[in-house]
């Protein structure tokens, strides 16, 4: 152990603390109890500094997450717009090809609302074909 640029100071600790240091300093690859205690002091100082930096880092993390969410929200909105356009085209083609009366249209709407609630919005074309063939 090199004593270059080191100072000696008196340290008062409980006997149990010294026993813990003696028990653990080899497992931390320390050559001496002093090295172990010095590493522990550095660790605790870093812990204290971390608490001070949380006030600085927290807003940065919040801003980053908010920006990511906003980007995702815009992406989903664009995709939903494209889906709505395609659904609109499909609805107009079906309406032009079929003559559906008001009562049938109301029943179809009610059935679809109930189905979407029941299946939690996960629609499968295969299930619709199966239902129509019944």
Place of tokens 């083609």: 93
> Would you write out the chain's pLDDT as a tens digit for each of its 134 residues?
566 788 888 889 999 999 999 999 999 899 999 999 999 999 998 888 877 776 666 777 888 899 999 999 999 999 999 999 998 898 888 888 888 888 988 998 898 888 888 888 777 788 778 878 88
Question: Which long-range contacts (C-beta less than 8 Å, at least 24 apart) are formed by 46-49?
Answer: none
The residue length of the chain stands at: 134
Dihedral angle sign, alpha carbons of residues 79, 80, 83, 89: negative
Distance CA 40, CA 21 (A): 10
Q: Which residue is listed with tokens 């107009």? A: 92
Q: Please, what sign has the CA dihedral across residues 66, 72, 78, 84?
A: negative
Reduced to 3 states (helix: H, G, I; strand: E, B; else coil), residue 89 is helix
């Amino acid at each position: 152990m090199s004593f270059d640029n080191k100072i000696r100071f008196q340290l008062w600790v409980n006997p149990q603390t010294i026993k813990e240091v003696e028990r653990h300093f080899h497992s931390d690859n320390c050559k001496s109890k002093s090295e172990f205690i010095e590493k522990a002091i550095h660790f605790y100082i870093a812990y204290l500094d971390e608490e001070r930096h949380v006030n600085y880092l927290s807003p940065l993390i919040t801003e980053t997450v908010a920006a990511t969410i906003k980007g995702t929200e815009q992406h989903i909105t664009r995709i939903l717009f494209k889906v709505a356009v395609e659904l609109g085209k499909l609805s107009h083609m079906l309406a032009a090809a079929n003559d559906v009366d008001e009562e049938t249209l109301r029943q179809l709407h009610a059935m679809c609302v109930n189905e979407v609630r029941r299946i939690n919005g996960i629609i499968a074309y295969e299930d619709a074909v199966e239902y129509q063939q019944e």
